[in-house]
Amino acid sequence: MLDHSNQVISPLLVSRGGISGTVVDVRLILREALNDYASGIILGHNHPSGSCKPSEQDIRVTKKLKEAAALMEISLLDHLIIADAVYYSFADEGIL
């Protein structure tokens, strides 16, 4: 969660997954953002497989969170996928 100056207000552990995946609740993320009076969100997770290519679920969750956050005037600034020594940035790829 970020303030209007893009400074971290508070980190939030949304979910702890297994090897094959996890569940992300967009409502939980937005509730915490609203409670923190956040202006922005950066989402991040890892891919234990070693590939940082986003899955279809990664893309769906990103789009859903972006649209829902925008209704609350909160910006989804990036969604980062970390794998080994590489990363994927939805913002860098123009998806956000």
Positions of E strands within the chain: 40-46, 75-83, 86-89
Quick: pLDDT tens for 43-95. Answer: 999 898 889 999 999 999 999 999 999 999 999 999 999 998 999 999 999 98
Quick: pLDDT tens for 22-40. Answer: 788 999 999 999 999 999 9
Three-class secondary structure of residue 88 per DSSP: strand
Q: Which residues 6+ apart lie within 8 Å of 43 measured at CB?
A: 14, 29, 62, 65, 76, 78, 79, 80
- Structural domains for the chain: 26-89 (3.40.140.10)
Question: Does the pTM of the predicted model rise above 0.75?
Answer: yes
So what's the pLDDT on residue 26? 94
pLDDT at 17 over 90: no
Please give the Cα distance from 96 to 47 (Å, whole number). Answer: 20
